[in-house]
Amino acid sequence: NAGVTQTPKFQVLKTGQSMTLQCAQDMNHNSMYWYRQDPGMGLRLIYYSASEGTTDKGEVPNGYNVSRLNKREFSLRLESAAPSQTSVYFCASSTGGVSYEQYFGPGTRLTVT
Amino acid sequence: QKEVEQDPGPLSVPEGAIVSLNCTYSNSAFQYFMWYRQYSRKGPELLMYTYSSGNKEDGRFTAQVDKSSKYISLFIRDSQPSDSATYLCAGVNTDKLIFGTGTRLQVFP
């Protein structure tokens, strides 16, 4: 099992450009999450999907959109990137319900210039 | 005030030392507490979890929650250089994790 995979691993964008971060899991998990990690701020939840077909905002959703394409895949889109979105982005998944055991992907390092 | 507070460190200790990593929290609704370990340039991985009060031991690791003082601790016995990582505590509120900022631990030989 690959677990949680993310693409790309690294990306550099110019301000105003758009891009989609891809995430897939092969553990048949119901819930999926997108976080960003910044120095001094820890991990902050951007959006999550408790089950296929549903998405909800987390702590810092502004400037992002998500799509739960199917049970396996959960994508994060930046429509018009800003330097404040420079961060490391992590996707995670869990069985759902009691979500304490979240499995994280390796992360995407995004720089917006 | 952040719901989960954690000293960022770094904490530097010699091999074999007992390490104490600590968090405080403000949300009384947290049902569980988690400790994640994150190696440099990797995703976090679950280390341990505990319910809202009491201790849990797993090998060299012990997680402790003091609900009365809203204090969470992770103890590492006989620390090893391979324990060098960032340790993240988190509280679980319904279906979401609220993370602290993480404490960077360095164990030198």
- What are the pLDDT digits (tens) for B68-109? 899 999 999 999 999 999 999 999 887 788 999 999 999 999
The DSSP annotation for A67-79 comes to EE-SSSBEEEEES
> Using CA of residue B56, residue B57, residue B61, residue B66, what is the dihedral sign?
positive
pLDDT of residue A97: 66
Q: How close are the terminal C-alpha atoms of chain A, in Å?
A: 36
Asked if the Cβ–Cβ distance from A99 to B101 is below 8 Å, we say: no
pLDDT of residue B54: 78
pLDDT of residue A98: 58
Q: Which residue ranges of chain A lie beneath pLDDT 50?
A: none
Angstrom CA distances, B103 to A50, B5, B8, B9, stand at 29, 10, 4, 5
The DSSP annotation for B24-72 comes to EE--TT--EEEEEEE-TTS--EEEEEEESSEEEEETTEEEEEETTTTEE
Q: Kindly state whether A89 is in contact with chain B, defined as any CB-CB distance less than 8 angstroms.
A: no
Rounded Cα distance between A109 and A36, Å, is 10
- Residue A49: its chain B contacts at CB < 8 A? none
Which chain A residue has its CA at the smallest distance from B101's CA? A42
The DSSP annotation for B85-108 comes to EEEEEEEEETTEEEE---EEEEEE
Asked if the Cβ–Cβ distance from A42 to B41 is below 8 Å, we say: no
pLDDT in tens, B58-71: 999 999 999 889 99
Asked if the Cβ–Cβ distance from B92 to A99 is below 8 Å, we say: yes
Mean pLDDT taken over chain B: 92
**Contact between residue B6 and residue B23 where contact means Cβ atoms under 8 Å apart:** yes
